């Protein structure tokens, strides 16, 4: 396995991690922004108020995006195994 192939696999792996984690992170950030705006307008300064809605949003996004995330991970693993098989 040469250095170019190793770097390509590492780069694609990092991009896959960013792509897969993007959905739940975006959901958490949007819910946090909405809760933050709500807290700023109502002057409720409870630290734990945003935890449960963020958790629910992340679980819901994992429920919705889970099959797509798994498909992407399986596709990457198959490509990785195929490239390992082609290397002598």
Rounded-to-integer distance, Cα 39 and Cα 42, Å: 5
What's the total number of domains in the chain?
Answer: 1
Per-residue pLDDT in tens (0 to 9) along the chain, 88 residues: 588 888 998 999 999 999 999 999 999 999 999 999 998 898 888 878 889 999 999 999 999 999 999 999 999 999 999 888 777 6
Rounded-to-integer distance, Cα 10 and Cα 4, Å: 10
Q: In terms of residue numbers, what domain contains 52?
A: 3-86
Q: What is the pLDDT of residue 24?
A: 95
Q: What is the pLDDT of residue 48?
A: 81
Rounded-to-integer distance, Cα 69 and Cα 64, Å: 10
Q: What is the pLDDT of residue 1?
A: 58
């Amino acid at each position: 396995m040469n250095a170019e192939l190793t770097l390509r696999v590492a780069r694609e792996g990092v991009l896959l991690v960013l792509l897969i984690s993007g959905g739940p992170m975006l959901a958490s950030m949007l819910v946090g922004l909405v809760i933050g705006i709500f807290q700023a307008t109502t002057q409720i300064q409870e630290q734990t108020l945003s935890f449960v809605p963020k958790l629910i949003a992340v679980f819901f996004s994992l429920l919705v995006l889970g099959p797509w995330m798994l498909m992407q991970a399986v596709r990457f693993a198959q490509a990785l195994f195929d490239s390992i098989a082609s290397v002598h």
